[in-house]
Structure 1
Amino acid sequence: MHIGKSIRTERLMNRNTGKCIIVPMDHGVSVGPIPGLVDMRKIVNEVAEGGADAVLGHKGLARCGHRRGGRDLGLILHLSSSTDLSPEPNAKTLTANVEDAIKMGADGVSIHVNLGDPTEAKMLGDFGQVARDAENWGIPLMAMVYGRGPKIKNSLAPEVVAHCARVAVELGADIVKVPYTGDMDSFAHVVEATCVPILIAGGPKTDTTREFLQMVHDAIKAGAAGLSVGRNIFQHPTPRLLVSALSGIVHAGWSVDQAMAMVGE
């Protein structure tokens, strides 16, 4: 790996465990200023103090979330966008590039691709261009790849998730983000088919904290390198404590009961 990419990757992932907790905050473009993301500087500080390894978002996160103090954490600039107001919300368009990320002080970049969407070909072309630029500049690339389209009946089906993960690896991602398949055995097969760290997405907001922590615990046991989760963290009543609990699971091998004790539930 390019030395610059190695150095930047170490700012995003725990050097001792090789795992990470990333909190995406890119929702403002897709769904607007939802609860938990109105004051971006406040929530960045909360998850930083809880022990998050990095945050992820668009250019506005760098401007509005920069704190000028407190515990440091990595920054991933998200390069692709769409809004839920669009008739084609799954069609992602590049709205930034790798040079923008470097200028804004980011440690990594990310893109979102929805396989199966009618605009898949364009998104894959964008993926290829971003991967080339990221390699040239020595900056890590995280790819969020989901199966969403008319031919896909179940986006969480293990074979669909495995295909998504493999596409991300084959096209040059350094870190892959995919949905959790729902059980350890099937997700272990997803992990086995890749050669880079795999993170799980949070999906819809879970009903209980225990349900969320159990999902993360099981994913780690199945070989995941961590998580990239937004709503289930920044919309939690105590995000700092929740991130501390997640850090215990991801980096210290805590049980769900130990994590629940940290949250205080």
Structure 2
Amino acid sequence: MDAYQSIGIRRRMKRFFRRNGRTLIFAMDHGFEHGPTDFEEHWEHVNPKIIIRKVMRAGVDGVMMLPGLARFAGDEVKPDRGLMIKLTSKTNLRPKDEQLLQSQLGYVGDAVKLGADAIAATVYWGSPQEDVMMRQFAEIASYAHDMGFPVVQFAYPRGPYINKKYGKKEDYRVVMYGARAAVESGADMIKTYWTGSKETFAKVVDAAAGVPVLLSGGAKTENPVDFLRVVYDVIEAGGAGAVVGRNIFQRENPEPLIKALIRVIHRNEEPEEAAKAEGLL
């Protein structure tokens, strides 16, 4: 049985990663986590079908969504691209003291029925509710692996103790710790924070011990070349790519940036060279 499960995991991983072992994944969970205001600047993108069609045309390797969006927009993801279903989340409407907890809003069986190629869940390492999310992830990973599905951990160090000990959540030592915890809790892919430099991100990659590490795209960068530089350094550090949301859907025409990101991730092009080729400079 283990052999069958391993084959399933490997085959489904390949739907996200090209032969070079890298990927660019579009993230579309912000309407739940941040609220629809994230789409106000370019309101048409609040409709997931519209933005997913755009990112498909531009050539992203996969899309990440929550179960509800996947029910009516999952068909927009082309069959040769990866579909990642995230089973935990939270809203910004929660009281502040409950913001460091992600709750489960779906099950592995739901993701399988939706046609998922990978299943994701978040753990806020260092949160006072860390234990709840650890157990959620363990249950999701155990069942998903039994079914032959890869599991992605959004390994985000967040918590009052972290801020006291490390100064800020993006300190490379705590990001490195989160990546290692993700590996040791059974993740097949890791999405985590940028640490500020190629040298420190390389330590995060080392701590992941061969499990692919993907950049969490974060807030929109006004100058797209600045974001391309970060992604370039991620790749130079041994990272496997990026999961990008706001830097894509908060642009009226995101296709040139997506194509430039593909040049950086898959062709090893310099950021300025990629930007010029796609008309961003």
Q: TM-score range by the shorter chain?
A: over 0.9
CA apart distance, 1:31: 2.0
Deviations 1:98-120 (A, max 9, x none): 11111011111100111121111
Q: 1:121 to 1:69 in 2, by over 3 A?
A: closer
Deviates more, 1:58-67 or 1:128-137: 58-67
1:95 alignment counterpart: 105
1:113 pairs, out of 109, 123, 126, with 123
Residue 185 of structure 1 pairs with residue 165 of structure 2: no
Residue 134 of structure 1 pairs with residue 149 of structure 2: no
Deviates more, 1:65-74 or 1:150-159: 65-74
CA contact (8 A) 1:22 1:53 kept: yes
CA apart distance, 1:236: 1.9
Aligned pairs (5 A) from 1:1-265: 2-14=6-18, 16-33=19-36, 34-35=38-39, 37-67=45-75, 72-87=80-95, 88-153=98-163, 154-194=168-208, 195-265=210-280
TM-score, length basis structure 2: 0.90
Question: Which structure dedicates a bigger proportion of its chain to helix?
Answer: 2
CA contact (8 A) 1:45 1:70 kept: no
Measured in 2, the distance between the counterparts of 1:94 and 1:83 equals: 12
Where does structure 1 differ by over 3 angstroms across 4 or more consecutive aligned residues? 66-72
- Any gaps of 5 or more consecutive residues in structure 1? none
Which amino acid in the other structure matches residue 31 of structure 1?
A: H
Deviates more, 1:228-237 or 1:172-181: 228-237
Measured in 2, the distance between the counterparts of 1:80 and 1:225 equals: 23
TM-score, length basis structure 1: 0.95
Measured in 2, the distance between the counterparts of 1:182 and 1:138 equals: 35
Measured in 1, the distance between the counterparts of 2:78 and 2:66 equals: 21
Measured in 2, the distance between the counterparts of 1:236 and 1:214 equals: 18
CA apart distance, 1:97: 1.5
Measured in 2, the distance between the counterparts of 1:208 and 1:69 equals: 28
CA contact (8 A) 1:48 1:72 kept: no
Q: Tell me how large the CA RMSD over aligned residues is.
A: 1.5
CA contact (8 A) 1:48 1:71 kept: no
